[in-house]
C-alpha cells in the first residue's frame, strides 16, 4: 500500500500527537506519584510502616529459628523476635490515640514486599550459607530501617507518644544491627 504525501503527513502528525499524549500522561502519573511521596506521612501511616517493619523482622527471625542450629544466629533471631514483638505491641497500642489508626501506604507496602523477597531468598538457603546470609541481611535491613525512621518517620510524626516510640525504636534497631554484625563476624571466624 503506497501512501501519498498528504497521507504520510497526516500519519506523522497523528503519531506525534499520540506520542505527546502518552508522554504527558506519563508525566502526570509520575508527578502525582512524586507528589504523594513528597507529602509527609500521617501518624496512622507511620504506625502502618512500623507494623510492616516489625512483622517482617519477626517472620525472618522465625525462619532463622527453623533453619539454623548456629548459636549466634539463634541468639540474634530470639532477640529480634522479642524486641520487634514488643515494638509492635507498643505501636498497635497507639491505635486508641486520635489520628493513629494504622493506614496502609506505599512505604508500608514496599516494606512488606521487600521482607517477602528477603524471606523467599533466605528460604532457599541452608546451613552456613543461610546463617551468613541471614545475619548479613539483618545488618543491612536494620540499617535501612534506622535510616527510614530517622529520615522519614520521625520528622513526620506529630504525636508525642509516637515520636517517643520511634526514638526508642532507633536505639533498638541500632542494637540489632550491631548484634547481627558481631554475630556475622563471630561465625566467619569460627
The phi and psi torsions of 41 (rounded to 5 degrees) equal: -70, 150
Query: Which pLDDT band, with edges at 50, 70 and 90, does 2 fall under?
Result: low
Structure confidence by residue, pLDDT tens digits, 97-122: 877 899 999 999 999 999 999 999 99
Assess whether pLDDT exceeds 50 at residue 14. Answer: no
How far, in whole angstroms, is CA 132 from its chain's centroid?
A: 21
Give helix 106-123 / helix 127-148 axis angle, nearest 10°.
Answer: 170
Question: Mean pLDDT, to the nearest integer, of 151-169?
Answer: 97
pTM beyond cutoff 0.85: no
Structure confidence by residue, pLDDT tens digits, 92-101: 999 878 778 9
Identify which of 180, 153, 157 has the alpha carbon closest to the alpha carbon of residue 53.
153
Question: Mean pLDDT, to the nearest integer, of 181-185?
Answer: 96
Query: Which pLDDT band, with edges at 50, 70 and 90, does 25 fall under?
Result: very low
Assess whether pLDDT exceeds 50 at residue 18. Answer: no
Q: What angle do CA 31, 34, 39 make, to 5 degrees?
A: 125
What residues contact residue 187 under an 8 Å CB cut-off, 6+ apart? 70, 72, 73, 128, 131, 132, 135
Give pLDDT, residue 37.
54
What residues contact residue 46 under an 8 Å CB cut-off, 6+ apart? 153, 156, 157, 162, 166
Give pLDDT, residue 97.
82
Helix then strand count (H, E) for the chain reads 7, 0
Give pLDDT, residue 99.
73
DSSP string, 52-114: HHHHHHHHHHHHHHHH---HHHHHHHHHHHHHHHHHHHHHHHGGGSTT------HHHHHHHHH
Structure confidence by residue, pLDDT tens digits, 33-67: 334 457 899 999 999 999 999 999 999 999 999 99
Assess whether pLDDT exceeds 60 at residue 138. Answer: yes
Query: Which pLDDT band, with edges at 50, 70 and 90, does 149 fall under?
Result: very high
Give pLDDT, residue 109.
98
The phi and psi torsions of 3 (rounded to 5 degrees) equal: -100, 140
Amino acid at each position: 500500500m503506497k501512501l501519498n504525501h498528504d497521507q504520510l503527513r497526516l500519519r506523522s502528525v497523528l503519531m506525534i500527537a499520540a506520542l505527546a499524549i502518552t508522554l504527558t500522561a506519563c508525566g502526570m502519573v509520575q508527578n502525582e506519584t512524586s507528589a504523594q511521596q513528597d507529602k509527609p506521612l500521617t501518624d496512622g501511616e507511620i504506625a502502618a510502616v512500623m507494623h510492616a517493619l516489625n512483622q517482617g523482622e519477626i517472620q525472618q527471625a522465625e525462619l532463622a529459628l527453623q533453619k539454623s542450629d548456629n548459636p549466634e544466629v539463634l541468639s540474634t533471631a530470639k532477640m529480634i523476635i522479642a524486641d520487634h514483638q514488643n515494638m509492635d505491641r507498643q505501636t498497635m497500642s497507639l491505635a486508641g490515640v486520635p489520628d493513629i489508626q494504622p493506614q496502609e501506604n506505599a512505604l508500608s507496602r514496599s516494606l512488606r514486599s521487600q521482607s517477602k523477597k528477603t524471606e523467599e531468598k533466605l528460604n532457599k538457603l541452608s546451613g552456613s550459607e543461610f546463617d551468613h546470609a541471614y545475619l548479613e541481611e539483618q545488618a543491612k535491613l536494620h540499617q535501612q530501617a534506622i535510616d527510614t525512621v530517622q529520615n522519614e518517620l520521625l520528622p513526620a510524626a506529630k504525636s508525642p507518644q509516637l515520636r517517643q516510640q520511634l526514638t526508642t525504636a532507633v536505639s533498638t534497631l541500632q542494637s540489632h544491627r550491631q548484634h547481627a554484625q558481631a554475630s556475622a563476624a563471630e561465625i566467619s571466624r569460627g
